[in-house]
Structure 1
Amino acid sequence: MTDDHRQRQIRDLLHQLAPDEGYTVSPIDSVRWLRSNRPLDRTPVLYEPGIVFVCQGRKRGFVGDRTIVYDARHYLVVAVPVPFTMETDASEAAPLLAVYLRLDPTLAADVALAIDRSRGSRDDDPSASETLGLEASPMDDRIEATLLRFLEAMADPVETAVLGPALLRELYFRVLDGPQGATLRSVLGERGHLGRIALALRRIHADFAEPLDVSRLAREAGLGLAAFHAHFKAVTQTTPMQYLKSTRLHRARLLMLRQGMTAASAADRVGYASASQFSREFRRLFGQAPQAEVARLKASFALPARDDGPFVSSH
């Protein structure tokens, strides 16, 4: 089977699985489909850990001075939540079609452990020590073939029930054994500097409404303060305080959107003592006032499918 033929089959299946614009939740809890019939201008986003396959259209992520492209030829792996800016290419004639795998930590850890047992692991794996928390990798034939078989199974209720979990496990194996495998396995195994920063990020997402004690985060990560700052910046391209601010603002936007909170109430919920400071920082991040940003999101499909996970997310 040629690459073009396989990609056409994948697109056809996603047209079937995602007939409507927006997010479609699949029968497997951690899997969802996305269809977008319009381009999206640059917007700040915060992805939770997971894997993104864009099978038609294109997404571009901007983090620091880097541009990360993920499309039919490249899949995105988010090892840890990293704030970045994203834009998409899509149209009515050629909608963006994507598969989102929200990282299932139990499944991923089980597959990672099996790989490490078979091939060995190193706590100081240089390929994962100073890695940015999200990266795009080329789509190889084995991953693409597995993705196609997974989508074929997900298009049939019986095959979804019988074959879906096993094919999802195979897809995890392909990714965890691929170019970003060492990065993901370091996070899952809490190994090396990346694993230590991942612990700190999990703490920030759990306690974002509380005052941030950077020294405590460094101690919990087993790093000196200077080393903690350096490794944190390498993984997230930002400082701990800026990361906390971004997490709070993304969460506040979601509270206003999902629960109808006022800006003042959302600001208080996420830990801001000053509503005016919240409004200034919200406008600085999202480019407009809270009310205008919520109205923009309500007028579009670009809403997160759920928000009950351990990480704050706009995805």
Structure 2
Amino acid sequence: MNVMKTHHLPELPTLETEAIALARVHASMVSRLLQLAPNEGYNATPMPDIRLLRSNRPLTRTPVLYEPGIVVIAQGRKRGYLGSKVYIYDAQHYLAVALPLPFSMETDASAAEPLLAVYVRLDAALAADVLLQIDERNGVVPGEPGGMATTRLDLALGETVLRFLAAMRDPLEAALLGPSLVREMYFRVFIGEQGASMRAALCLNGSFGRISRVLRMIHSCYAEALTIEALAKEAMMSVPSFHTHFKAATKTSPLQYIKSTRLHQARLLMARQGMTAAAASAQVGYESASQFSREFKRLFGGTPSEELRRMKRNFAVPEAGPSIYVSSH
């Protein structure tokens, strides 16, 4: 008598087993990051668009300007404040930023349990290529565009980040495997919970996309005398419509956005190049040094010299990376 063989399909991971596996991934990520990020602040990797962040102390609420990117935290917690919303990103949730956004942020960390994170700057060309390939195979999934979101970290993305960190220990692995692992990170994010929202935000069509083009213009021409009329023309909108759509995308006004971009750039010029406050203010488009000092203190809570001392005390300022955007780091 023939006995039919029963073929058992591999069991899909339950939420409990995935949680256990993710906890192991986090523990391994922490171990790798403690080795790869020995310095407080941003530590470089062989991949120019990826930095490793370490903070051995809590940081009070401070203004930041993030480029489009992804922040995956292995240990510790950050809270971002944008408009009326609070974005918590920690070991369970990563942050995805589709537009260059000024907001304020605070960090929970200690010497015993430092904040450890992976910061991925989004490359527009790579993002467009990955999104195109996803759309060709899966079809375009409609979504409401959003400039910033926190999303639950799933096992697939966690394992990709861990493999990336493992590859960064060896120059040959970093050179040969690094680019494909970065691409896989993009893929995991774009097919995740916020994928449709990020796709819609990164697309340059529609009102959100036109505001995105204006933000690029501001970041490349921040030192020039930008007028609201010129920005509205770039967005192909009337001035009232431009104000409405700009505020919806960035949670701030165009003039406040320009001011924040200039001040963050001046801060980095002083920190990286040792410029004086007067030289930095002129470099970013201020005609009055006293106005610059007032607005700098209003944003950062201290004079330029006080802010530089705070920066040096709390973290290392990284070298400028290959980006079209101004950022706070």
Band the TM-score falls in, shorter-chain normalisation: over 0.9
The number of aligned residues is: 310
Secondary structure, in 3 states, of the residue corresponding to 1:167?
helix
Alignment of 1:57 with 2:76, yes or no, is yes
Say which is worse superposed, 202-211 or 222-231, in terms of deviation: 222-231
Give deviations 1:78-127, integer Å, cap 9, x for gaps.
111111111111111101111011112221111011112223337xx451
Q: Which residue of 1 aligns with 2:119?
A: 100
Residue 145 of structure 2 corresponds to residue 135 of structure 1: no
Matching of residue 74 in structure 1 with residue 93 in structure 2: yes
Verify: 1:228 aligned to 2:247, yes or no: no
Given candidates 182, 199, 216, the residue that maps to 1:168 is 182
Contact 1:14 1:97 survives alignment (8 Å): yes
- Evaluate the alpha carbon distance shift between residue 79 and residue 220 of structure 1 in structure 2; reply closer, same or farther with a 3 A threshold: same
- The alpha-carbon deviation at position 163 of structure 1 amounts to 2.1
1:266 to 280, 283, 286: 280
Question: How far did residue 240 of structure 1 move?
Answer: 0.3
Task: Look up the match of 1:292.
Answer: 306
Sort the Cα spacing of 1:84 and 1:247 in 2 relative to 1 into closer, same or farther, 3 A: same
Q: Which residue does the alignment assign to 2:39? A: 20
- Partner AA of 2:144 in structure 1: S
Report sequence identity in percent.
55
Range moving further from structure 2, 151-160 or 259-268:
151-160
For residue 20 of structure 1, report the CA deviation from its aligned partner.
2.8
Structure 2: gaps (5+ residues) = 1-19
Q: 81-90 vs 222-231, which deviates more?
A: 222-231
Whole-Å separation in 1 of the counterparts to 2:241 and 2:131: 27
Q: Structure 1 residue 280: deviation in Å?
A: 0.9
Q: What amino acid maps onto 2:255 in structure 1? A: M
Cross-structure match for 2:16: none
Give distance in 1, aligned partners of 2:101 and 2:305: 25
How much has 1:140 moved relative to structure 2? 1.5
Determine the C-alpha separation between the residues in 2 that align with 1:18 and 1:269. Answer: 32
Superposed CA offset, 1:267-294 (max 9, x none): 1111111111111111110111112111
Counterpart CA distance in 2 for 1:117 and 1:200 is 28
Cα distance in structure 2, aligned partners of 1:294 and 1:262:
11
Asked whether the 8 Å contact 2:58–2:107 carries over to 1, the reply is yes
Give the match for residue 189 of structure 1: 203
Q: TM-score, normalised by structure 2?
A: 0.89
Deviation string 1:134-187 (CA, Å, 9 cap, x unpaired) is 221111122112222222222333332332221211111011122332333234
Instruction: Quickly say closer, same or farther: Cα 1:286–1:307, change in 2 above 3 A.
Output: farther
Residue 150 of structure 1, aligned match among 164, 185, 198: 164
In 2, distance between residues paired with 1:20 and 1:83?
A: 25
Residues 141 and 73 of structure 1: CA distance in aligned 2, closer, same or farther (over 3 Å): same
Give the distance between the partners of 1:105 and 1:87, measured in 2 at CA: 28
Q: Which residue is 2:15 aligned to? A: none
C-alpha RMSD of matched pairs (Å):
1.7
Once the two structures are superposed, what CA deviation does each residue of 1:189-225 show, in whole Å capped at 9, x if it has no partner? 3122221111000000111111122222222222232
Contact 2:190 2:198 in 1 (8 A): yes
Asked if structure 2 preserves the Cα contact closer than 8 Å seen for 1:35 and 1:95, the reply is yes
Query: Which one of 133, 136, 147 corresponds to residue 117 of structure 1?
Result: 136
- Equivalent pair of 2:44/2:318 in contact (CA under 8 Å): no
1:33 to 52, 62, 65: 52
| TM superposition outliers: structure 1 runs of 4+ over 6 Å | none
Deviations 1:54-80 (A, max 9, x none): 110011111112111111111111111
**Equivalent residue number for residue 204 of structure 1:** 218
Larger Rg: 1 or 2?
Answer: 2
1:46 aligns to what SS in structure 2?
strand
Contact 1:303–1:314 (CA under 8 A) maintained in structure 2: no
The more displaced of 241-250 and 224-233 is 224-233
Out of 249, 252, 256, the residue aligned to residue 263 of structure 2 is: 249
Which amino acid in the other structure matches residue 299 of structure 1?
R
Counterpart residue type for residue 69 of structure 2: G
Cα distance in 2 for partners of 1:257, 1:167 equals 32
Greater Cα shift, 61-70 or 146-155: 146-155
Worse overlay, 40-49 or 259-268: 259-268
